[in-house]
Amino acid sequence: MHLIARCMAATIPLVLLAGPLPPPEPPEVRWTPDPPRQGTLIRVVVRPRGADSTLRVAGALAGESLHFEPDGRGAFVSLAGVPLVVGDTIPLDVTVNDVEFETPLPVAGRVVSREELRIAARFARPPDSALAARLERERLRVREVVARSHATPRIWSPPFVRPRPGRVRSGFGIEREYNGVLESRHWGTDFAGRRGAPVRVTSRGIVVMVDTLFYSGRTIYVDHGAGLLTGYLHLDRALVSEGDTVQRGQVIGRVGASGRVTGAHLHWLARYGAILVDPLDLLTLDWTP
């Protein structure tokens, strides 16, 4: 037995050195919706060639890591975010067993309107040094929360639910003019609601921020894992604390009018990593395999 084992071991290098391995075939890559629009949340599906149980699939889009999981049918699936400000194509990077492939992802334009809003003067004038320092601290806090989202395992599952049953007052991506000055985009979706009405979390997640910020008022961020976060802004009250695990549909706050607002409503936002996307995509995305 020892002699046979030595002989077999001696033949292995001869087999491995018989010739170079052929280059791997590019995987099949598709996405939904097709084509995605600017500022859209999408699902990326990668189907490697062959049936290797040791496959490792990774990727990136717009600087954000993708979190692929096997779908049980030989493919790997991840969410991804398409930035609002981007051209008509963007490179989608996919890595299969350490071999990198690049696919051009076509992007359709998003037609947006413009809103003119009247707000309190203190929210419209340039910040003084004290306010500028506060805004920078708040920006860094949010950035830290966003950066940690890629380290959290996925804990969300479809279907996602609306945070409010009311009508949509203002959509994603709209240009906003405050007191006659064009200042920003609208980075979420506004739902109508009276002060004190319940706000529900869209899916299971961990509360990673409860704070009062200058522009967004009373704010809750929920980390759903694998890069996905949702935010609930301008609240009157928060009913959860940082570190709480919340379940889909759970009431986490009350509609308010805190921060830079024209009246009581809920501003709902969604992020894939640092990329802000239309949160309504969570409700309309095709989750079928």
102, 93 in Cβ contact below 8 A?
yes
Is the CB of residue 260 less than 8 Å from the CB of residue 124? no
| Beta bridge mates, 213 | 217
Note the pLDDT of residue 114.
Answer: 67
What are the DSSP calls for 104-157, one per residue? EEE-B-----EEEE---HHHHSPP-HHHHHHHHHHHHHHHHHHHHGGGSPP---
Instruction: Flag residues of the chain having pLDDT under 50.
Output: 1-18, 182
Fold classification of 114-284 is Glucose Permease (Domain IIA) (2.70.70)
Distance CA 233, CA 145 (A): 15
Q: What is the pLDDT of residues 45-81, one digit of tens each?
A: 999 986 565 689 999 999 999 999 999 888 999 999 9
Ranges of each domain in the chain: 24-106, 114-284
SS (H, E, C) 181-201: EEEEECCCEEEECCCCCEEEC
Contact predicate 188/173, CB 8 Å: no
Q: Does domain 24-106 have CATH number 2.60.40.10?
A: yes
Bridge partners (DSSP) listed for residue 212 = 218
Query: Tokens at residue 267, please?
Result: 């501003």
Tokens found for residue 89: 């194509």
Cis amide bond preceding 33, omega within 30: yes
What number of other Cβ atoms are within 10 A of residue 69's Cβ?
12
Helix, strand or coil for residue 231?
strand
pLDDT at res. 139: 94
Smallest CA-to-CA distance from 202 within 178, 179, 175, 224 is with 224
Give the separation between CA 143 and CA 278, rounded to whole angstroms. Answer: 19
Whole-number pLDDT of residue 49: 83
pLDDT, the chain, mean = 87
